[in-house]
Every structure is written in structure tokens, then in C-alpha cells.
């Protein structure tokens, strides 16, 4: 009973972490977008006063691009850490991986990486993944995207192994000079969050060397009910 109580406590803490992150990123996105809106409106008025033959007119486009980049960043931040408890619930592994790919599509496009996935097919059982497990998968994928260079390939392989849910995320990064290595997001934050979620579910997260340059992370989670 004590062990069950501890497990429930960990799950409660994991859900609370997801909820706080979602609320924080939503607030940050809202405040930044309000500020960007004011900047964009003011700049649009000033832009009319800058003739096209002005020696510094090229900065007009540069400012517009930076405003758009900042707006896109807040959108990706919100998508990455979104957690809606009203719509949370278990779903089949294949759906969970597909949902993670969709949620992080704009981040993948921004970084110029491609994602391919393998999920249980009709001949296999497709176990269900809790909302906390879904978030763990999403944040491991986020970590891979943030640490991949442009033109990198990310592969996700979801399956069942001895009654456990196994999700492996591997990214292959082209050989690049040190000065062109990718800039990651907040150092290890998405991975640390995923580790906390996996631990709360009584699972395991391991990091293994890939076949080539890049990285590989594998998650093992206890299976919920298996869809018939």
C-alpha cells in the first residue's frame, strides 16, 4: 500500500510539473506576443517615414524578420509544453507518437530536421500510454530536435518488449565543424523533464550511443491496458 501511495504521489507531482510548465509557457507567450504586437504596430508607423532609397532601409526587413522569429519562438514554446488536463487521457502508443510529432512539427521545420517513425502495425498489439507517458515521449523528441543540426534525421521506434512500452528516439546528425554545431534549447531541460516523468511512471530512461554521429534515448514504460 505504501508503494502504491508513493507511486500516486509521484504521478501527482509529475502532473503538477506539467501543469505549471504549461501555465508558465502560456503566460510567457501571452506577455511576449503582447509586447511584440506593440513593437510591430509602432514600427509599421515609423516604417512609412523611411524612404526606400535611405542607406539603412535594409534594416526594415531585418526588424520585421526578427519580430516574426520571436513570435514563432513563443508559439513553439507554447506547443512544446502544452498540457491540457481537460483533454488528457490514455491513448494508443501509435497515436501518442503521432501526436508528439504533430505538436513539435513547427520546431522541427524551424531547425530543418526530418522525423520518421515506426509504430505498432495492425499485426501487433498497440498498448495505451498515459498522459504523463505521452508527455515523456514528446519531451524526448523535443530534446532530439533541439540538439540536431539542420538536415539531421530523427527516427522514433515504438513497440512493446516483454510487456513494457519501448520508445527509442535516435537522431543522426551530419558531421559538422565545431563552429557549425547546433545550438540546443535550454540545456537538457526537456530531457530532465522527461526523466522526471518516466521515473514517476516507474519506468526507465537510458542514453546509448547511436550507429553514427548524433544520439539515442530509449524509454521503457510499464504498459497500461492493451487495446484489443
pLDDT per position as a tens digit, 198-215: 988 888 998 876 555 668
- Using a pLDDT cut of 70, give the percent of the chain over it: 82
Between CA 68 and CA 213 the distance in angstroms is 32
d(CA 103, CA 87): 15
User: What's the confidence (pLDDT) of residue 114?
Assistant: 92
Residue with cell 488528457: 88
Q: Is the pLDDT of residue 8 over 80?
A: no
Angstrom distance (rounded) from CA 211 to CA 227: 33
pLDDT tens-digit series, residues 33-54 = 899 888 888 888 877 778 778 8
Q: Pick the residue with more confidence: 222 or 126?
A: 222
Residue 155 has pLDDT above 50, yes or no: yes
**Which 3 state secondary structure label does DSSP give 115?**
strand
pLDDT per residue over 53-68, tens digit each?
888 777 778 888 888 8
* Rg of the chain, C-alpha, whole Å: 21
Determine whether 204 is exposed, middle or buried from the number of CB atoms within 10 Å of its CB (0-12, 13-18, 19+). middle
Amino acid 22: pLDDT:
85
Q: Is the pTM for the entire model greater than 0.85?
A: no
Of the candidates 182, 177, 117, the one whose C-alpha atom is nearest the C-alpha of residue 151 is 182
Query: Residue 5 has what pLDDT?
Result: 59
- pLDDT tier, 156 (very low <50, low <70, confident <90, very high otherwise): very high
Amino acid at each position: 500500500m505504501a508503494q502504491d501511495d508513493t507511486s500516486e504521489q509521484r504521478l501527482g507531482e509529475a502532473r503538477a510539473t506539467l501543469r505549471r510548465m504549461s501555465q508558465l509557457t502560456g503566460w510567457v507567450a501571452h506577455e511576449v506576443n503582447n509586447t511584440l504586437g506593440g513593437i510591430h504596430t509602432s514600427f509599421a508607423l515609423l516604417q512609412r517615414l523611411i524612404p526606400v532609397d535611405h542607406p539603412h532601409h535594409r534594416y526594415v526587413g531585418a526588424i520585421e524578420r526578427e519580430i516574426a522569429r520571436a513570435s514563432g519562438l513563443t508559439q513553439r514554446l507554447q506547443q512544446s509544453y502544452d498540457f491540457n488536463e481537460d483533454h488528457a487521457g490514455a491513448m494508443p502508443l501509435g497515436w501518442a507518437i503521432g501526436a508528439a510529432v504533430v505538436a513539435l512539427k513547427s520546431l522541427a521545420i524551424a531547425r530543418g530536421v526530418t522525423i520518421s517513425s515506426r509504430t505498432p502495425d495492425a499485426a501487433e498489439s498497440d498498448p495505451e500510454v498515459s498522459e504523463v507517458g505521452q508527455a515523456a515521449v514528446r519531451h524526448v523528441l523535443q530534446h532530439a530536435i533541439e540538439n540536431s543540426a539542420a538536415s539531421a534525421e530523427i527516427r522514433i521506434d515504438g513497440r512493446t518488449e516483454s510487456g513494457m512500452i519501448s520508445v527509442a528516439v535516435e537522431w543522426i546528425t551530419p558531421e559538422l565543424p565545431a563552429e557549425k554545431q547546433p545550438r540546443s534549447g535550454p540545456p537538457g531541460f526537456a530531457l530532465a523533464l522527461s526523466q522526471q516523468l518516466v521515473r514517476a511512471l516507474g519506468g526507465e530512461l537510458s542514453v546509448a550511443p547511436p550507429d553514427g554521429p548524433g544520439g539515442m534515448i530509449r524509454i521503457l514504460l510499464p504498459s497500461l491496458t492493451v487495446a484489443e
